[in-house]
Amino acid sequence: MTLADLRTAHETTLDAAIKANAERTFHAHWPEAPSGKIYGETANDEALARFQSQLNNRFARLGDADEWIGEEVSPYGFDLGITYPAADVETLVSRSSAAQTAWQSLTPFDRATILVEALERGAKSFFEIGYATQHTTGQGFVMAFQASGPHAFDRALEATALGLAAQSSFTPGVMWTKSMGKISVSIEKTYRIVPRGINLVIGCSTFPVWNTVPGMFAGLVTGNAVIVKPHSGAVYPIAIVVAALRDVLAELGMDPNIIQMAVDTAAEPLTLHLVKHPSVSIIDYTGGPAFGAVVESAATEHRKAVFTEKAGVNCVILDSTEDLEKAMDNLAFSLTLYSGQMCTAPQNIFIAKDGMLVGGEHVSVDAVSAKLREKIDALVFNEKAGPGTLGAVQNPITAARVAEAAALGFEVVRSSEPVTQPGFDGSRSMSPLVLKTDTAHADVYTKEWFGPISFIVVTDSFEDSLNEVVSSIHQHGALSSLVYTTNAELMQTAEDAIVSAGAPVAFNFNSFVWVNQSAAFSDFHGTGCTPAGNATFADWQFVTNRYNVVGVRKQA
């Protein structure tokens, strides 16, 4: 395998991805269905066997080391027992610095083709990545396969294509001639892409691949060496991806330390040491707002580029609909999917005290609440769909938060109860808790209640509901918002207000697309202009802030 081979093999893929980024229409390079007809009839069985053989063993695909560490525990009730090569901060940084020189000397197109090759290699492990994600995050298997496999890889390809397009937006060199009357002067000019330096990517425990690969691939395609610092409880899924990339680099005769893993433990974290290291120039962070603020502050203090996705309070307004059944089906699924452990999951549901207009008739708040409870119950108690949709709760702290919310004293629309996961008696699984309150308790519901917790908040009017949503976006940020209304004037008013506040908005979802979802090549995930985070997957700023352009002029 040579770079020439990769250029030929992946040029069409990159062209299609660049085109999709510009046109924003549906584009998916990897099919999302975990189907044997697509990925091979034996792919699932082989991956399950590989997953089981990896348990209680070293993850040797990343290379050797003097020390091996790991502390992953499946939310389905067992220790993974996997250990990974450990290295201290100075060793990681030294390796990255040594590897970057050769990497940045490649053309952007060559870097992009290497990255696509790594993705194609990694795609052969989608089923193993699915099991690894299921048993580190608690996602149901189908969701884990899709979120860490095809959907995440499409996000990685999206960032790669965008980075390539940005760096190719001007000629790399030109003979510049200026006429000066009877004479002219010519200067040979070249424009060199200079990466900012080592790119640290800090992963999260709930989406260890989907939230990691955009920054990881944006950093790599723009010439930076990358250190991935996964959450200590969710290493295995992203380790498979990193290993595939290191294999490709090694086969090309390049230093595989262009991409490294910084594995740590909760007791001895490396994150802040890496964040503050003077050789780290770029930081991507996904996680809670408290530590996110620390990362942003440290990045500002040390003049580093930083891209964050923290957390927000996502809101819904219920005003009117033509079909309450379909609307509540859609909303119930959004509240139930992965037990609300998504940065885009709805939390606060605002409804005016007069209720909702359904086909022109008023339906009371209690009746709408009862319909939502009915739809959640129908999903949760569906033996085939319920357990897989809910998955398990990744962190015991999230489970404790459900109990804390239940003890608030608010009216309980739907109580949370344990859910049995077939084959996993020790799973930490629970159904959604739905509480009802009013705007007098804004101090409670305006904070993020991460997990299967939501609030129906009764307001005086649609205008009051909208004001609540806009205020929440300004104060706490949001990564999604959803409005049900059949009134065109109210729809426009809501769109203008929510977008101006800096959050995306969806209207009247009642089919098989949910507000939680964010489609690669079409949806911009995050807006970068609310307290929920300063980054967008993936706009121009997401790639262009990772490099500089430096000119060279030579007298002709």
pLDDT digit of tens for each residue in the chain (556 aa)?
899 999 999 999 999 999 999 999 999 999 999 988 899 999 999 999 999 999 999 999 999 999 999 999 999 999 999 999 999 999 999 999 999 999 999 999 999 999 999 999 999 999 999 999 999 999 999 999 999 999 999 999 999 999 999 999 999 999 999 998 899 999 999 999 999 999 999 999 999 999 999 999 999 999 999 999 999 999 999 999 999 999 999 999 999 999 999 999 999 999 999 999 999 999 999 999 989 999 999 888 889 999 999 989 999 999 999 999 999 999 999 999 999 999 999 999 999 999 999 998 999 999 999 999 999 999 999 999 999 999 999 999 999 999 999 999 999 999 999 999 999 999 999 999 999 999 999 999 999 999 999 999 999 999 999 999 999 999 999 999 999 999 999 999 999 999 999 999 999 999 999 999 999 999 999 999 999 999 999 999 999 999 999 999 999 8
One domain, residues 297 and 410? no
One domain, residues 284 and 348? no
One domain, residues 319 and 411? yes
Domain end position, chosen among 507, 527, 543: 507
Which is it for the CA torsion 200, 238, 525, 380, positive or negative? negative
In a domain, 139, yes or no: yes
Q: What CATH number should be reported for the domain holding residue 487? A: 3.40.309.10
One domain, residues 89 and 129? yes
Q: What CATH number should be reported for the domain holding residue 186? A: 3.40.605.10
In a domain, 227, yes or no: yes
One domain, residues 299 and 380? no
One domain, residues 254 and 111? yes
In a domain, 52, yes or no: yes
Contacts of 90 (CB under 8 A, 6+ apart): none
Residue from 390, 375, 214 nearest 307 by CA:
214
Phi and psi for 397 in degrees, rounded to 5? -65, -35
- Cα–Cα distance for residue pair 395/399, rounded to 1 Å: 7
Predicted local distance difference test score (pLDDT) of residue 36: 84
In a domain, 434, yes or no: yes
In a domain, 282, yes or no: yes
One domain, residues 235 and 334? no
One domain, residues 285 and 354? no
Which is it for the CA torsion 247, 250, 254, 260, positive or negative? positive
Collapsing DSSP to helix, strand or coil, 545 comes out as coil
Contacts of 64 (CB under 8 A, 6+ apart): 85
One domain, residues 366 and 258? no
- Cα–Cα distance for residue pair 221/190, rounded to 1 Å: 20
Per-residue CA distances from 315 to 375, 451, 492, 530 (Å): 19, 15, 17, 14
Predicted local distance difference test score (pLDDT) of residue 552: 97
**Residue 104 lies in domain:** 10-310
One domain, residues 298 and 320? no
Contact 413, 373 (CB under 8 A): yes
One domain, residues 267 and 170? yes
State both tokens at 192: 């060199």
Predicted local distance difference test score (pLDDT) of residue 534: 94
- Cα–Cα distance for residue pair 520/21, rounded to 1 Å: 9
In a domain, 370, yes or no: yes
In a domain, 409, yes or no: yes
- Cα–Cα distance for residue pair 349/490, rounded to 1 Å: 17
In a domain, 2, yes or no: no
Number of domains in the chain: 2
Residue 153 parent element (H or E): helix 150-167
Domain end position, chosen among 310, 329, 346: 310
Task: Tell me the Cα Rg of the chain.
Answer: 25
Domain end position, chosen among 286, 310, 334: 310
One domain, residues 142 and 219? yes
Per-residue CA distances from 389 to 249, 426, 453 (Å): 37, 18, 16
User: Where does residue 548 fall: left (phi above 0), alpha (psi -120 to 50 degrees), or beta otherwise?
Assistant: beta
